[in-house]
């Protein structure tokens, strides 16, 4: 791509993808810069330094999140599209907001997987979702600042059900749209959860990191087998 076309209008799918990758990398590095600058600025302003021994203890815990992030980047890419993936990973809340928003918009628009229409619809829906979320958060901060204790006490009893409700709705969307592909990893993960609870390892087995990795591996294997036998 020519430098003059960096911020221009793409005429082909390849040019569009190149633009999205170039811009996505730039804004990703900018976002990472702000994220890394926040603790540095805080330490300088507060006159404190990190406890490096405690930080070393946290490395295995952080490695788990790095693994989840890598797996999410690989598994969400076909569903979010090029532009949508960069937008999602920069703004956050992928599994509980950006991914359901993208899938729902694709379902309503009846786009074909991997098509230009899917790319455009996904990117627009995620961008609009990010703007709406930001506006709602700003509006919500006003009453939260005034009635913080009252709001927290009201929402505390229902907070454990929020994430299961979101993932449950997302699961039904994926099951309905990609039943043959989704039913096998869903059944395997469900079986692992049941067995884990029966043998007393439910808290470890049912963790998000475990289920994401297991679901990813089973999905790849089952999809390859189904494709080999011409079932999909």
> DSSP string of 150-213?
HHHHHHTTTGGGHHHHHHHHHHHHHHHHSHHHHHHHHHHHHHHHHHHHHTT-HHHHTSHHHHHH
Q: How many CB atoms lie within 10 A of CB 98?
A: 27
pLDDT at 4: 43
Least confident of 41-45, 117-121, 187-191, 209-213: 209-213
Residue 57, token pair as written in the block: 């203890």
Mean residue pLDDT across the chain:
80
pLDDT, tens digit (0-9, with 9 covering 90-100), for 84-100: 888 888 888 887 788 88
C-alpha distances in Å from residue 36, one per residue of 28, 29, 30, 32, 42: 12, 10, 10, 6, 11
pTM: 0.64
pLDDT, tens digit (0-9, with 9 covering 90-100), for 8-25: 555 677 787 888 888 889
Q: Which residue has the tokens 């390892």?
A: 201
Under the banding of pLDDT at 50, 70 and 90, the label for residue 2 is very low
pLDDT, tens digit (0-9, with 9 covering 90-100), for 135-149: 888 888 888 778 877
Least confident of 51-65, 72-86, 198-212: 198-212
């Amino acid at each position: 791509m020519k430098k003059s076309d960096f911020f221009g209008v793409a005429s082909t799918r390849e040019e569009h993808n190149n633009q999205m990758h170039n811009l996505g990398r730039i804004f990703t590095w900018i976002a990472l810069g702000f994220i890394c600058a926040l603790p540095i600025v805080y330490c300088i302003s507060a006159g404190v330094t990190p406890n490096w021994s405690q930080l070393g203890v946290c490395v295995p815990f952080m490695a788990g999140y790095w693994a989840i992030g890598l797996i999410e980047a690989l598994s969400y890419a076909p569903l979010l599209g090029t532009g949508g993936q960069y937008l999602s990973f920069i703004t956050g809340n992928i599994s509980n907001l950006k991914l359901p928003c993208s899938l729902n918009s694709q379902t309503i628009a009846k786009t074909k997987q991997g098509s230009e229409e899917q790319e455009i619809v996904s990117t627009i829906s995620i961008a609009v979702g990010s703007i709406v979320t930001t506006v709602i958060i700003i509006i919500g901060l006003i009453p939260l600042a005034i009635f913080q204790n009252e709001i927290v006490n009201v929402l505390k009893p229902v907070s454990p059900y929020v994430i299961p409700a979101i993932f449950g709705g997302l699961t039904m969307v994926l099951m309905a749209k990609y039943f043959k592909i989704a039913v096998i990893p869903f059944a395997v993960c469900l079986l692992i959860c049941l067995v884990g609870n029966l043998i007393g390892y439910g808290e470890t087995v049912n963790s998000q990191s475990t289920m994401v990795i297991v679901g990813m591996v089973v999905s790849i294997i089952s999809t390859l087998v189904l494709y080999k036998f011409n079932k999909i």
